[in-house]
Amino acid sequence: MRRAGAGAAAAIGTAGLIITVVGTFLPWLHSGAVRRNSYASFGTLRRLIGFHGVAELLVRAWPLLGAVTAAVVVVAATGLRRTAAVLGGLVAAWAAAVAGGALARDPVGAVGIEFAGPIVTLIGATAVLGAAILALTSQVNLGREGSPRDRTA
């Protein structure tokens, strides 16, 4: 049963990572008839609104999301499940913060918010976060019951 929890976490996490990345390529902003994905949107938003502090760092690093997502998969494939879960949780928090911030923004002039991209990204990030929590809790349970002391006691 606990082994199934780890497998379910891996499947949910993988699906969530894919959904998160797909969401970044869907429309996030529109201006007239032009729709922009998240990568094209943030350049426009930086010029129109300007970001400061942590928000600026998250948006500037956004093009690296795909590479970091791939790193989570590679780490998981090497068998470092806890590390992959923690890294996946951080990726999920990052994606959720950016997508949530995009949804919370008011339209600026002729630039309007498209909901498809941010919502799909949030759905994927939620799945990844749930998978990370499931993976970490199943690892804790396996670690406690799998120790030699528990078998002899």
pLDDT tens per residue, range 30-40: 888 889 999 98
Q: What is the mean pLDDT of residues 134-142?
A: 74
Query: Would you mind telling me the total number of residues written for the chain in this entry?
Result: 153
Sequence letter at residue 62: W
Q: Per-residue pLDDT tens for 97-122? A: 989 888 887 766 777 888 999 999 99
Model confidence at 140, pLDDT cuts 50, 70, 90, reads low
CA separation for the pair 132, 127 (Å, rounded): 9
Q: Per-residue pLDDT tens for 48-59? A: 666 678 878 888
Per-position b or e across 58-95, b if 16+ CB within 10 A of its CB? bbeebeebeebbeebbebbeeeebeebbbbbbebbebb
* pTM tops 0.75: yes
Model confidence at 151, pLDDT cuts 50, 70, 90, reads very low
CB 24 within 8 A of CB 67: no
